Structure 1
């Protein structure tokens, strides 16, 4: 279940994707499959090849992309990998404890 996200944050993420950017969106999230994890970062992009290339820099596999027909395909970043990538991308403000 996703929560703690404002409509304008979601819209900004979508707009960045529509404009051809790799976009990041972190929000609170609970899922019984991942006990102890409270946030997820969605890293989206319209160009799937570009998104896959971006992900490969961090060891993410292209088959992990959630391909969406609405154009907002994305990787889900969780846990230590989430922290590592956000730090390397200079997005420490999206690391929430």
Structure 2
């Protein structure tokens, strides 16, 4: 449905990032842009840094379809239940200790 370019060091960081996005879903505003190397449109929610906060996972052939996809994303995001956040230091994947 959507992707983020941010890299998180732990599962807790990633889940807190998602929860923050979920809590602010009603205020999200997307910028719809044409794909540089191809045909189609993507929606992008600008972030506080140079990277977008989140963007569509694919390009849409029509501008209106892209707008509707963003609206559906916001509705689905707002419907997600609050998360029980884990320990912030927990790694994303179990370590491969041998």
TM range (shorter): under 0.3
Q: Which has the larger radius of gyration?
A: 2
TM-score (normalizing by structure 2):
0.25
Q: Which has the higher contact order (CA 8 A, sep 6+)?
A: 2
